[in-house]
Structure 1
Amino acid sequence: LWNKAHDAYIKSELIDNINKLEKSLEKANLLVDHKSVYLANMSHEIRIPLNAVLGMLNMLKKTNLDNDQMAEVEIAQYSSEHLLQLVNMILDNAKFDDEATDLNLVVIDLESDLSKLFKVLEYQAWDKNLDFEFKFLSEKKPKFLLLGDLSRIQQVLINLINNAIKFTHSGKISITIHQTVSNDDNQIVTFYVKDTGVGLSPYEVGKIFKTSKNDDVSTMQHYRGGGMGLSISYKLVKLMGGELEVESKENEGSIFYFSLQLKKTLNLKTEAKEPASDLLNKFDYKFSVLVAEDNKINQKVIKFLLEQQGADCTLVRNGLEAVKLYNILDFDLIFMDIYMPEMDGYEATRTIKATDKYEKNNTPIIAVSASAFEADIKKAKLSGVDDFLAKPIETERLKELLVKYSPQNQSK
């Protein structure tokens, strides 16, 4: 009898614990969902004003400025782009431990793509009266375009350089990018960030990459450069197949470095891709573009950017107006904001694609949104859009889309 009673008790306890675990799992999933919603909202709310700031700075650069004014505008532009990089990094890193993280491989011209980033960070160094230099070395000419995750490489470099500037009070920050030949298909690229700062003790060197998201602020500030930035950088470099390392001595400075094996793609001298702006000039065609956007400042920004590329731009304030105007006038291309009053971009896209007119002309529809997580892009494409343009709008990306969906290319 005792055994039966004991077994019944154990069974009851087991069922009770299973129920508790199921409830805990439900709560955990709910928290994850809330975090995802929060991140999506945060991304959207930050990107909208950044789109306006960067757009207005682009417009200002087209006006009659003297050299000093142009330099000041460029500083503001570089700083805004740096802020965007930091926002992207924070949002991306917030997801890092919660879901599988994939690499976004793109064609990279190291010198061209990274010089602009270094220019932004150079101003921060100068603000502390630090010398700042960056150089690109290659063991073999000509240099090659490479395939890699440019965004993640930039994230790591931002973290390392910001860290170097923060803990260097006099002297110099030196950045070196060294390309060496691995084999016919790959190149080894080593990134060095050297400073003349306060340096690290042996204890700090052992601890520097191990700070967890559960450490409090006092723990993260206890040693030089501690915190999520270097910990995340370490993980990102590992994700890309490398190892982030450091050499340092107290009061003598530090060198942070990592190597990546990147696939070679095109020879810069003979096979470089023609810039989208050159292709647009060859088309000699005035696009008729419908833009659905409810924010007045962003209306002004996208209208300016499109007209700079020779487009004839018609603006509407919501999806309902877009549908009505689409049925009346002919357009080569539609840029559709997602979150609008009366009718959002998803519904407007589905409504347009259900019309008889769309069956005849198949007007490309491009979603434009400050919500630019992978899930947002997938959701937009499931609604039927042909492509996606993230805010803040990058001029080169806009040009690429105009080339891709030009009537000349669509008719091929």
Structure 2
Amino acid sequence: MTKYGLRARVFTLTLAPTLIIGLLLSAFFTMSRYRDLEHQLISTGASIIEPLAISTEYGMADHNREAVRRLISYAHRKHSQIVRSIAVFTNNNELFVTSNFHRNFEALMYPDDQPFPMLLETQLNENNLILRAPILREGQFNNSSLPGYQAETLGYIALELDLSALRLQQYQEIFTALMVLLFGLTLSSLFAYRLMKDVTRPISHMVSVVDRIRRGHLDVRIEGQLLGELDTLKNGINAMAISLSEYHIEMQQSIDQATSDLRETLEQLEIQNVELDIAKKRAQEAARVKSEFLANMSHELRTPLNGVIGFTRQMLKTRLSTSQQDYLQTIEKSANNLLTIINDILDFSKLEAGKLLLENIPFDFTDALDEVMKLLAPSAHEKGLELTLKVDNRIPTGLIGDPLRIQQVLTNLIGNAVKFTERGNIDVAVEVKADREENIDLQFMVRDTGIGISERQQAQLFQAFSQADASISRRYGGTGLGLVITQKLVTQMGGEISLTSRLHQGSTFWFSLRLTKTDLPVSQPIDTSSLMNRKLLLIEPNMQAASVIQQRLIRAGIHVTYRSTMPDEAEHHDFALLNLSPGEQPPLASVLDMVFKAEQISDKVIVTLPTTELALSERLLNAGVTACLPKPLGHRKLYETLVTEPDMLGEPEGLPIPQAAPRILPITVMAVDDNPANLKLISALLSERVETVITATGGRKAVEYAHQKHFDLVFMDIQMPEMDGVTACQEIHKTELNHTTPVIAVTAHAMAGERERLIKAGMDDYLTKPIEEPILEQMLAKWTSAHDSHPDNGLANGTGLTEAHHPESSTEQAVTADPNISWNWDLALKQAAGKEDLARDMLQMLLDFMPEVEMLVNEALDGKEIDLWPPIHKLHGSCAYSGVPRLKNLCHRIETELKAGASIRDIEPELFELVDEMNNVVKASKRYRP
């Protein structure tokens, strides 16, 4: 909106009323005068034409043109200043006589299609005025008084008047009005000017003075004598200027004082910044020293502890007395507790530094939970606690996540529940919160009947090196880091953790996670079809444990009859499952009596024992029991025991099931890998299944072979020097011989999105390390169906294994092994497809390569500029087939951090741990040579 000044407002408000009123009055009087002049001219014309209409009656009646002409000519001459022409027309609308010649008589005539008017008619045009009056016959007969009489029309007379004089007079009137209006405006302007001089000029001066005061000229004043209120305003402005001047002086003094104080403060802050910088450097140095200390302590403590634990377990495998076995078990338990404390401190340090990396691999969810329950069952059963696991039926078998960290979280929570519970149950449950197409949200709950936690104590639970009560650490032990590590692990996995508890009434810890579904074969499925509609008698004193077992059995289609104690009489069943509760220790005679009764009413008797009562198993087996299983029952072990024939249960575990030798496919395959161990393994696996295997030690070599020979299939490693697998694949597809040959990516990176990235880059399929034989067979069946037309092999029409599974990724199937053992021969044998010679060769190649890696790592730790990623990557690939899971995980973490741009200083603790672990592998391999 436009803002007008005072001068413009005064000028506008002074002239606007004069202008508006003048315009209105001038317009009113001009229009009135304009119309009066027109009416006056019409009246004059009427006074001329009406007498002529009466006078020409006799001339018209006698057709005396001369008489009529004299009349109208006289009238024309008498009023010649306004009359242009006078014409008389007959009743036939024909010109009878005119006063002078007229160029356009049609303008004076009535239209032929209109009747003559009986009264005077006027027609005002732009430049003339035409009047028409009828000529009536009224002189011969006096019948005008008769009703309905109408005089005869003899014709009419037309008079044309000139409007020039009229228009001139009208213009004179308008001009006069405008002059009067202009005079009024001029007079108003003089008054407005005078008003602005007396009012606006002083005000403008005041505005200028105020503006100078605003800009800091506080000594400026308004001088002179002004009128009325303006003089009062002048005095006020001068007084304000005086006050501002005094305030400015005071404020300047305050600013000077504040500036002096601020200068002193800044000097103090500068000193503090120097001190903080020194403290920061000291803290960084302390953190570095702490990392070195933790790494050194990891080496110094883990090495003797691994020896203690390893030799203790070896001793436990020998024949021992009961006391010796008890002592060794105590030693092993104490060593494991100490190792747990060390691992807690190291994990906490890594979590605090943000260096703990999570895996994202497929795994069998229920098997992973059963491993945790199996690990913690002895400590729970020693205290007489019942430990149960309930898994929601909607949870799929295969999920993708970090099973080790999930197990670590559950181990911490269940371990705390066991520690702080004296009697009752510890119930673990996993439920589905949300089930989506690709992901599933799970909620884990650990309930106990222990001492509980007060509301005040709950606030301290997730603080480092603290416990709910100061007396707890003295009574129950512990570092106070378990829940802190648990919370940080859950948070890093994208979940949340909390608890509900009341003092002396138990606690419930829960945490939620989002995991990804997978259809990959993460474990060997169990065929439970033979158990459908079979009958089982379930004896379980604990209601919660009975409910969990009953749900698992019903899921397999078994009809379950539940009793809390052994009935004296019952109908016949196919199975009897007798469960002994921990802590009760019933007499052997009572147990044997219960087994005898069960044998009378069932074909197969299975007894589950607390881990503290496993010594009874031999007596019970001798008494005729089909099998003795430890509590809590793992779902896989339970189903396997039910479906296995009684004469097969006594065989040693771990022996491979004989399988038919795979059929040799008549194809030529090229295997490409820069790691000799990996290349040797995949070559050995392929040689058992295809006729010809060509090996290439790098991408460039593979491209050379592709130019020389056609291959039916290519297995390509991704991370290789000189030329990586993706580039080699693209070059192979450009060759004339192999432009359509399928190239399968073989990589140790089984992270989300890796398969899509490689296929988008040109690969035809995706296979992860370590290579599993079933997955390899499925891959061969998928891509070689066109090469085989045998009617019985299931490949001729592209069916068979490829319809059941599309191997997008694979993972190392779990082999039951202690994670604290550096080398596991069973795992190495499994990774080498059961071939002992190949497993030994793989281990020896790993041992031969480790000194080179150790030398490079030590040089990097000494400060030399060395690129550690290639040797660590190569070592990582070798670990995948040598039964060294701890070394493999270490290599994976270091390789991932190096790819993310970490410096040697950032991964210094992991490098120390890598050197220690390589030494542990060497020692472990020397102690045991199969």
1:291-345: per-residue Cα shift (whole Å, max 9, x none)?
xxxxxxxxx9859679965444799xxxxxxxxxxxxxx95863526998xx686
Paired residues of 1:332 and 1:364 also in contact (CA < 8 A): no
Give the structure 2 partner of residue 39 of structure 1: 294
Q: SS of the residue aligned with 1:178?
A: strand
CA distance in 1, matches of 2:878, 2:394: 45
In the TM superposition, 1:380-391 aligns within 5 A as: 391=917
The 1:372–1:45 alpha-carbon spacing in structure 2 relative to 1, beyond 3 Å, is farther
How many angstroms does 1:125 deviate by? 1.0
In the TM superposition, 1:398-409 aligns within 5 A as: none
The 1:86–1:268 alpha-carbon spacing in structure 2 relative to 1, beyond 3 Å, is farther
CA distance in 2, matches of 1:78, 1:138: 35
Paired residues of 2:846 and 2:878 also in contact (CA < 8 A): no
Residue identity in the other structure for 1:232? I
Give the structure 2 partner of residue 162 of structure 1: 415
Matched, 1:138 2:393: yes
1:122-169: per-residue Cα shift (whole Å, max 9, x none)?
1111222222222433225xx332122223222221221121111111
Give the structure 2 partner of residue 98 of structure 1: 353
1:65-90: per-residue Cα shift (whole Å, max 9, x none)?
79x99x98999889867765554333
Residue identity in the other structure for 1:34? V
Give the structure 2 partner of residue 176 of structure 1: 429
CA distance in 1, matches of 2:486, 2:451: 20
Q: SS of the residue aligned with 1:266?
A: coil
Q: SS of the residue aligned with 2:280?
A: helix
- From 504, 507, 510, the equivalent of 1:251 is 504
Give the structure 2 partner of residue 198 of structure 1: 451
Q: SS of the residue aligned with 2:430?
A: strand
TM-score normalized by the length of structure 1:
0.62
The 1:262–1:17 alpha-carbon spacing in structure 2 relative to 1, beyond 3 Å, is same
Give the structure 2 partner of residue 241 of structure 1: 494
Residue identity in the other structure for 1:255? T
- From 369, 379, 382, the equivalent of 1:124 is 379
The 1:214–1:19 alpha-carbon spacing in structure 2 relative to 1, beyond 3 Å, is farther
CA distance in 1, matches of 2:491, 2:428: 20
Matched, 1:211 2:211: no
Matched, 1:49 2:304: yes
- From 505, 519, 540, the equivalent of 1:266 is 519
Matched, 1:187 2:440: yes
Q: SS of the residue aligned with 1:97?
A: helix
* Structure 1, unpaired ranges of 5+: 286-299, 316-329, 399-412
CA distance in 2, matches of 1:145, 1:390: 34
CA distance in 2, matches of 1:59, 1:49: 15
How many angstroms does 1:186 deviate by? 1.0
Residue identity in the other structure for 2:447? K
Q: SS of the residue aligned with 2:304?
A: helix
CA distance in 1, matches of 2:878, 2:521: 33
Matched, 1:89 2:350: no
CA distance in 1, matches of 2:876, 2:466: 50
In the TM superposition, 1:236-315 aligns within 5 A as: 236-268=489-521, 309-310=836-837, 311-312=839-840
1:338-388: per-residue Cα shift (whole Å, max 9, x none)?
998xx686569xxxx9xxxx9xxx9977698699595698689999x9xx7
1:43-77: per-residue Cα shift (whole Å, max 9, x none)?
2223323443555467668x7879x99x9899988
CA distance in 2, matches of 1:194, 1:128: 16
Q: SS of the residue aligned with 2:453?
A: coil
Paired residues of 1:146 and 1:263 also in contact (CA < 8 A): yes
The 1:123–1:196 alpha-carbon spacing in structure 2 relative to 1, beyond 3 Å, is same
1:253-305: per-residue Cα shift (whole Å, max 9, x none)?
22211121101123448999xxxx998995799xxxxxxxxxxxxxx985967
Residue identity in the other structure for 2:370? S
Residue identity in the other structure for 1:262? L
Paired residues of 1:107 and 1:265 also in contact (CA < 8 A): yes
In the TM superposition, 1:225-240 aligns within 5 A as: 227-240=480-493
How many angstroms does 1:30 deviate by? 1.0
CA distance in 2, matches of 1:52, 1:212: 30
How many angstroms does 1:41 deviate by? 1.4
CA distance in 1, matches of 2:828, 2:385: 41
Paired residues of 2:388 and 2:426 also in contact (CA < 8 A): yes
- Aligned-pair Cα RMSD in Å: 5.5
Total equivalences in the alignment: 345
Residue identity in the other structure for 1:104? E
Task: State, as a whole percentage, how many aligned pairs show the same letter.
Answer: 28
Give the structure 2 partner of residue 29 of structure 1: 284
Give the structure 2 partner of residue 320 of structure 1: none
Give the structure 2 partner of residue 151 of structure 1: 404
CA distance in 2, matches of 1:265, 1:394: 35
* Structure 2, unpaired ranges of 5+: 1-255, 526-655, 658-680, 689-820, 830-835, 861-865, 905-910, 925-930
When Rg is computed on C-alpha atoms for both structures, the one with the higher figure is 2
The 1:108–1:85 alpha-carbon spacing in structure 2 relative to 1, beyond 3 Å, is farther
Residue identity in the other structure for 1:336? M
